[in-house]
Amino acid sequence: MSEIIDFLLFDRFSALCLANSVEPLRAANDLTGKRLYSWRFLTLDGKTVRSSSGMQVTADERLTDARGDMLVSLPSYEYRSHATPDCRRALAAAARRYPVMAGFDTGAWLLAHAGLLDGFRATIHWEELGAFEEAFPEVEAVRERHVTDHSRITCTGALAAFDLTLDRIGAAHGAALRLEVAMLFMAPGAAPSVAPPIAKSRTVGRALSAMRASIEEPVSLPEIARRAGCTLRELEQRVRTELGEPPSAIYRRIRLISARKGVLETNLPIAEVALRAGYENASAMTRAFKNEFSATPQQMRAGR
C-alpha cells in the first residue's frame, strides 16, 4: 500500500523545493516497479496556484476534502500573507486527518501559526529563523537542515527537502534503494569537491565520486581513501557514520546498480554487463546481483 503524501501549495511556492520533494518519490516508484508513494497537490480553496517562477499547478483537491499519511505545507515566498485565520483553522483540522504534518522551506511558519509545533523541535529557512524564534517562543527552533520530531517534520529549503526525502526513503525501504535513488541525481562529471546528494561531507562525496569513476576497473579501498584525501580508517568511520554501511558494501552496491542499469536498459550479453560492472566472472556477478535485487539478471531482464 503506497504512502500518500499531500503538498499544500500557496501562490509563490518554490517549484524547486516541490520538485526536490517529489522527484525522489517518483524515482523510488520507478526503480522498484512498485507504487511505494503517491502524492497530490492541494490548495486551501481547490484553485490553481502559481510558483515563484510562474509555473501553474492545478490543485487535485481542496485541503478540507483530503486525507493521507503526510501533509506538507509549502508556502515559500510571501508566507506571512498566508498566515490567516482560515489557514490556521484548515491546518488545525488537517492535523486530525494526517498522522504526520510537515513544513518545508517557510512552511514551518504556517504550522507554528496554527499551534501545531508547540513543544516540538523545528527549523525553517535560515533567513527567517530569528523572526521565527521571536514569533513562536513555544517552538524549539533549531538551526538544522531538516528536523523530524515525532509527527512533525520541518526543513530549510529545496536542498534540504531532497536530503530529507532520501532519508525517509532509506528508513522505509532500505539503504540500497536510498543509494540507487541518489545515484540518479549524481552528475558523473561533477567536480570532486561537489558532494553527491547522498553524502554529507566532502570526504565521503569524493569517495563516492571515486567509486563511480572506477566501476569497470575497480580499485582498492586504500586507493579510494587516497583519492578522498583521508586514511582508510577515517574512510571506514565516515562512510559508516553517514551511510550506515562500510565502504566495501557501498562500492559493491554502486557496481551492482550499474549492472542493473545494463540489464534493464541494454541488450548486452550478461557476461558483457558483468565486465562493465567490474566483474571478470559473470557467475560471481549473478550471485551478487541476486543477493542485492532478489532476482538474477536473466529474471530481471525477462520481466522488464
Question: Which regions of the chain carry the CATH code 3.40.50.880?
Answer: 3-167
Q: Which residues of 205-223 are buried (b: 16+ CB within 10 A; e: fewer)?
A: bbbbbbbbebbeebeebee
Query: What type of residue sits at position 250?
Result: I
pLDDT digits (tens, 9 = 90+) for 219-258: 999 999 999 999 999 999 999 988 888 999 999 999 999 9
The chain-wide mean pLDDT, for the chain, equals: 92
pLDDT digits (tens, 9 = 90+) for 85-103: 999 999 999 999 999 999 9
| CATH 2.40.50.140 for the 250-302 domain, yes or no | no
> Has this prediction a pTM greater than 0.75?
yes
Phi, psi of 220 (to 5 degrees): -75, 160
Is the dihedral angle over the CA atoms 215, 216, 220, 226 positive or is it negative?
negative
Ranges in the chain annotated CATH 1.10.10.60: 250-302
The whole-number average pLDDT for the span 163-172 is: 93
Which residues touch 303 (CB under 8 Å, ≥6 apart)? Answer: 295
Q: What is the pLDDT of residues 36-56, one digit of tens each?
A: 999 999 999 999 999 999 999
| Three-state secondary structure readout of 270-287 | HHHHHHHCCCCCHHHHHH
Q: What CATH number has the domain spanning 3-167? A: 3.40.50.880
